[in-house]
Amino acid sequence: MGLTDTILTARNVSKRFAGVQALDNVDLTMRRGTITALIGENGAGKSTLVKILSGFYKADSGSFFIDGEEVEIRSVHQSSELGISVIHQIPSFAAHMSVVDNIFLGREIPMSRRRGPLRRFDRRTESDRIRPLIEQYSGNFKPSDRMENLMAYQQRLVGILKALVFSARVLILDEPTAALPIEERDLLLTRILKLKDEGYSILYVSHHFDEIERVADDIVALRDGVRVGYADTSLSQQQMVEMMTGFPLDSVSRIYKVNESIQSETEEAEQRNRHVFRLNPPTRGSVTSKPKGSLEIDLQEGEITVLSGLVGSGVKEIGEAMFGMRQDWTTQYRSAGVLRIVDSPSAAISSGIGYLSDDRIGEAIIPDFSVRKNLSIPKLTRVSTFWGQISKEHEQSITQELCGKMSVKMSSPEQAAIDLSGGNQQKVMLARWLYTESKVLILNEPTQGIDVKAKQDVIALLQEFVSQRGACLIVTNDPEEFLDLADRIVVMQRGEISGDFRFPDIRHDDILRAMLINV
Amino acid sequence: MSSSVKRHFRTLASVENFGLYVVFALIILVFSLTSPYFFTLRNFMDILRQSSFVLVAALGMTMVIITGGIDLSVGSVIGLSAGITSVLLLKEMPTSLAVAVGLVSGIACGFVNGVVITRLGVTDLITTLSTMSIFRGILFMMTHGVPFQAFARPNFSFLGRGSIGVVPVPILIAAVLFAGLWYMLNKTIPGRHVLAVGSNDRAATLSGIGVGKNKILVYMISGFTAAAAGIMLASRLSSVPPDLGTGYEMSVIAAVVIGGTALTGGVGNVTGTVVGSLMVAIIGNGLILLNVNPFYQYVINGVIIILAVSFNNARRRSKSR
């Protein structure tokens, strides 16, 4: 392979963030006119590498070559001058504006023969420039079409065309099919293959191994910031998982959760109450993450269940539907022989269900309320008289008790909850559902954005919650840190259950396979 | 300044609406020193009575603004409910019944506002701007452009003109409504829910609070207080011209905002609204006593609003670092 065959080479790239080695001497070689797939688990360093190549981060060390010539990448501007362009997961557009106006936004072509700040831009020249590109890639839309009227794959294509117009040669596609309806994925993939045929070089970052199997020429795998695998042929999905995780799939690898006796489980299981959720997603509409038919999630009291899948697999939507947050779904909840319809959060709360949002600031905390008022808000009847008068003393004593038990660091129950640290906020949000005496807790990414100590506290709390006959469902895109406390892991892929593992058969590689491999 | 004085000042400054009270005290001080007629019981009763009409409507408006909404239709509701009550009085209906129907009509107006906003998804500004025109139009159709008059009878006039001891009745009505809404907002579940909805409606929903239900409730409260203000005005003036209450929404919203209730929702209290209404009235009163050209009053009113609100904003910013 001669030098001119490689368009981009990165050598010994390292990057460190506050004590964490995000990338450690990573090499990357992209051959001209090929598609290189970049794979790895969450946190493996994929996005750090992408951000370094696009000039968003500066590498601590390492060298870069374009067409065999050494270059520096120190800014986003420099990176795009070199012809590198990142097309982001979900591109941001001005939805009400036309395709042509979006492509040339901020870089309009001015009318010739005119000067000054108020000169008009030349939409006709702009349109003439992109029209052949749209045709070449069978976009089936016009430059004048409004962005919002395009199909999702066409919008992605506009993002790519924008890069081509501004003379990109290396395209970095970051999860290009994320949030794309399934039936449109093939439409986008054929256009990506067409880009390759036209001589563009593509770095394809994705979790979807079936797509990679289809389009990739080369594969680079990262784990914990280190390049752990490289192949210049296409691989099977099985081989990709092996390369990424570093162990063959057939061998027995790590078994988690060894601290509990299996025997007692089976003995008690008979008397334990089950919480069964039957979910019916809306039949109309075409959303990628929507399950195809009705589906049943059953949680057993005294157990922690983890529901896991990639972004777009539908796990988040299922968690929300179980709490009655999705108006177009129907949710039936059966527990102790009683059937309830959960059509709103308030119906869920009165059925004994609690929900922790992954968006703490936007969906959980009431910013103008003190810790005390934040805690009692889902069930004020517990601290008030028959006529609805709230007892502040009662609220305070409950706040003191629960926050003391959870070791929330606060100056007093009257402190504004928004002023607490992230970990303490999260504990207060959890305390809410202990206060309502929930039987079922649905937690969406419960350890996201909190420090290590708070994580341990939160996990300890969940374990205590289930030990007192509670049932707990953790919804997450990244199951790794919950593997050793899960009694059961349900894995979803593109709206369907692709794996269901129960302790002691919870193995890291099985879960990854269920999350990633599409058969 | 010694450190203990500083500390005291700091705790004082952390009192809700501190800026408002400072400005309020300064205004009273200035007028007391400059006019011999200002600091008298009689004048204070006048001020209280004058401000009570705006205050009554502003109490309900406070609830609306706390949820992050706005009700531009209060001026028209004032006129419409006054018109309905006076028509019923002209038709020989008993006073208590006529007043009750007037109040219910105000609640109905608020219900319409709330339902259009929450169920049809029209923004609060557009909804109440439209109903402002609709309610006013209904009053014009009722009156055919001619004021209702000669409906006054002693027990009706008592509401706007009477007094118990030295205290005028409008002040008593305002005090009762203030006490009721203060209690609701600070001590009860519906009040807590209203505050939560204004602070973060998404979080409120996920805490099981019906956001739409609470919004409809506050617009009904605003309709009720506007109707009460309208009936008090009809009694006071013994006449309901078709443009009764026009422009009231401005004074009412000003009183609420001066009182420290944030237009963004979530923060506010009716105590501040009382001070806000008094402040508007006192400035007007003092300037008249000082023989200031009345045209200056508009300018001074505007400046006071900006000062009070920016003072509160600065305090809120410093509190949230």
CB contact under 8 A, A364 and B205: no
Q: Which of A245, A277, A292 is the last residue of a domain?
A: A245
Collapsing DSSP to helix, strand or coil, A37 comes out as: strand
Burial of A480 from C-beta contacts in 10 A (0-12 / 13-18 / 19+): middle
Residue B156 lies in a domain: yes
CB contact under 8 A, B192 and A377: yes
Distance from CA of A43 to the nearest CA of B (A): 30
- Long-range contact list for A498-505, CB < 8 A, 24+ apart? A498/A309, A503/A256, A503/A257, A503/A260, A503/A262, A503/A265, A504/A255, A504/A257, A504/A258, A504/A262
ω before A181 within 30° of 0 (cis)? no
Chain B hits for A366, Cβ within 8 Å:
196, 199-200, 203-204, 207, 266
Half-sphere exposure of B246 (CA within 13 A, CB side): 10
Q: Which two tokens stand for residue A240?
A: 């990709």
- For residue B270 the two structure tokens come to 């009716």
Q: How far A38 CA lies from chain B's nearest CA (Å)?
A: 37
Is residue A113 located within the same domain as residue A157?
yes
Rounded CA gap, A183 and A288, in Å? 9
Q: Are residues A209 and A353 in the same domain?
A: no
Low-confidence ranges of chain A (pLDDT < 50): 1-3, 250-267
Confidence of residue B321 (pLDDT cuts 50, 70, 90): very low
* SS3 state at A409: coil
- Choose the closest CB to A377 out of B187, B188, B196: B196
Dihedral Cα A69, A74, A76, A79, nearest 10 deg? 0
Do the Cβ atoms of B208 and A378 come within 8 Å?
Answer: yes
The whole domain housing B262 covers 17-316
CA A237 to chain centre: 21
**Residue with the larger pLDDT of the pair B5 and A112:** A112
CA-wise closest residue to A221 among A199, A198, A205 = A205
- Let me know if B299 is exposed, middle or buried by CB neighbors in 10 A (0-12, 13-18, 19+): exposed
Yes or no, beta carbons of A384 and B195 under 8 Å apart: no
Residues A291/A281, Cβ–Cβ less than 8 Å? yes
The confidence score (pLDDT) of residue B36 equals 85
Is the CB of residue B185 less than 8 Å away from at least one CB of chain A?
A: no
Which of B129-138, B268-277, B310-319 reaches the highest mean pLDDT?
Answer: B129-138
Domain membership of residue A259 (yes or no) is no
Q: What pLDDT is stored for residue B16 in this prediction?
A: 63
> pLDDT, tens digit, for every residue of B175-207?
999 999 999 999 999 999 999 999 999 999 999
Cα–Cα distance measured from residue B209 to residue B218, given in angstroms and rounded to the nearest whole number: 14
Is residue B264 a part of any domain in this protein? yes
Where do the H-state alpha helices sit in B188-294?
189-199, 201-206, 211-237, 248-258, 270-289
B3 is a domain residue: no
Residues A231 and A272 in one domain: no
The CATH number covering residue A180 comes to 3.40.50.300
The verdict on A276 and A239 lying in the same domain is: no
Contacts of A365 in chain B (CB under 8 A): 200, 203
Q: Is A366's CB within 8 Å of B187's CB?
A: no
Do the chains contact at A390 and B200, CB–CB below 8 Å?
Answer: no
User: Mean of the pLDDT values across residues B50-66?
Assistant: 96
Does A292 share its domain with A381?
A: yes
pLDDT at B179: 97
Q: Are residues A180 and A283 in the same domain?
A: no
| Alpha-carbon distance B183 to nearest alpha carbon in chain A (angstroms) | 9
Q: Which residues of B touch A346 (CB under 8 A)?
A: 208-210
State whether residue B188 sits within 8 Å of chain A by CB.
yes
> What number is the ipTM of this complex?
0.83
Distance, in Å, from the CA atom of B80 to the CA atom of B76, rounded to the nearest integer, reads 6
**Placement of tokens 């200031």 in the chain:** B292
Smallest Cβ distance to B192: which of A350, A355, A373? A373
In a domain, A445, yes or no: yes
Chain B residue with the nearest C-alpha to that of A355? B206
The predicted-structure confidence for A475-503, as pLDDT tens digits, reads as follows 998 888 888 888 999 998 888 888 888 88
B84's enclosing H/E stretch is helix B74-90
**Close Cβ partners of A263 (under 8 Å, ≥ 6 residues apart):** none
- Tell me how far apart the alpha carbons of residues A474 and A319 are, in angstroms, rounded to a whole number: 9
Q: Which tokens is B176 given?
A: 């009762």
Note whether A342 and A225 are same-domain residues: no
In B244-303, the residues whose Cβ lies within 8 Å of chain A are 266-267
Looking at the structure of chain B, the number of domains it has is 1
Q: What chain A residue is nearest to B321 in terms of C-alpha separation? A: A419
Taking the Cβ of residue B189 and every Cβ of chain A, the question of whether any pair is shorter than 8 Å is answered with: yes
Q: Is residue B49 domain-resident?
A: yes
Check if B43 contacts A (Cβ < 8 Å): no
Secondary element (H or E) of residue A71: strand A69-71
Which residues of A are less than 8 Å from B320 in CB distance?
Answer: 418-419
Which CATH number goes with the domain that contains B118? Answer: 1.10.3470
**Are A305 and A173 part of one and the same domain?**
no
CA A36, distance to chain mean position in Å, is 22
Residue A256 lies in a domain: no
> Looking at residues B64-68, what average pLDDT do you find?
96
Residue A366 is encoded by which pair of tokens?
């009431």
**pLDDT value for B10:** 58
Whether residues A350 and B195 touch (CB distance < 8 A) is answered with no
Domain presence at residue A260 = no
Lowest mean pLDDT, pick from A243-247, A467-471, B74-78, B115-119 = A243-247
Residue B319 has pLDDT above 90, yes or no: no
CB under 8 Å to A184, separation ≥6 — which residues? Answer: A151, A152, A153
Q: Which amino acid is at A511?
A: I
Residue B188 lies in a domain: yes
Residue pairs between chains A and B whose CB atoms are closer than 8 Å: 74
Q: Give, in degrees to the nearest 5, the angle at Cα A136 between A135 and A140.
A: 35
Q: How far is CA A459 from CA A402, A422, A446, A463, A464, in A?
A: 16, 15, 9, 6, 9
Q: Judged by CB atoms within 8 Å, which residues 198-217 of B form the interface with A?
A: 198-200, 202-210
What is the total count of domains within chain A? 2
Going from the C-alpha of B247 to that of each of A324, B74, B77, B135, B253, the distances in angstroms are 44, 9, 12, 14, 11
The whole-number average pLDDT for the span B232-261 is 91
**Interior angle at CA A301, CA A298 and CA A304, nearest 5:** 75
Pick the closest to residue B82 from B219, B220, B252, B238 (CA basis): B238
User: Is A250 a domain residue?
Assistant: no
Q: What residues make up the domain containing A88?
A: 3-245
* Arithmetic mean of pLDDT, B278-307: 81
Residue A258 lies in a domain: no
Residue B159 lies in a domain: yes
What is the C-alpha to C-alpha distance for residues B39 and B28, in angstroms, rounded to an integer? Answer: 8
Confidence tier at B288 by pLDDT (50, 70, 90): confident
- Å from B132 to nearest chain A CA? 31
Cβ-defined contact of A345 to B208 (cutoff 8 Å): yes
Write out chain B residues lying below 8 Å of A357, CB-based. 206
Q: Are A209 and A322 within one domain?
A: no
Tell me, yes or no, whether A233 and A296 share the same domain: no
Residues A295 and A172 in one domain: no
Question: How far apart (Å, rounded) are the C-alpha atoms in residues A353 and A203?
Answer: 44
Chain B residue nearest residue A358, CA to CA: B203
Searching chain B, which residue's CA lies closest to the CA of residue A380? B189
Q: Which residue of A has its CA nearest to B184?
A: A389
**Each residue of B156-185: b (16+ CB within 10 Å) or e?**
bbebbbeeeeeebbbbbbbeebbeebbebb
Say whether both A39 and A171 belong to one domain: yes
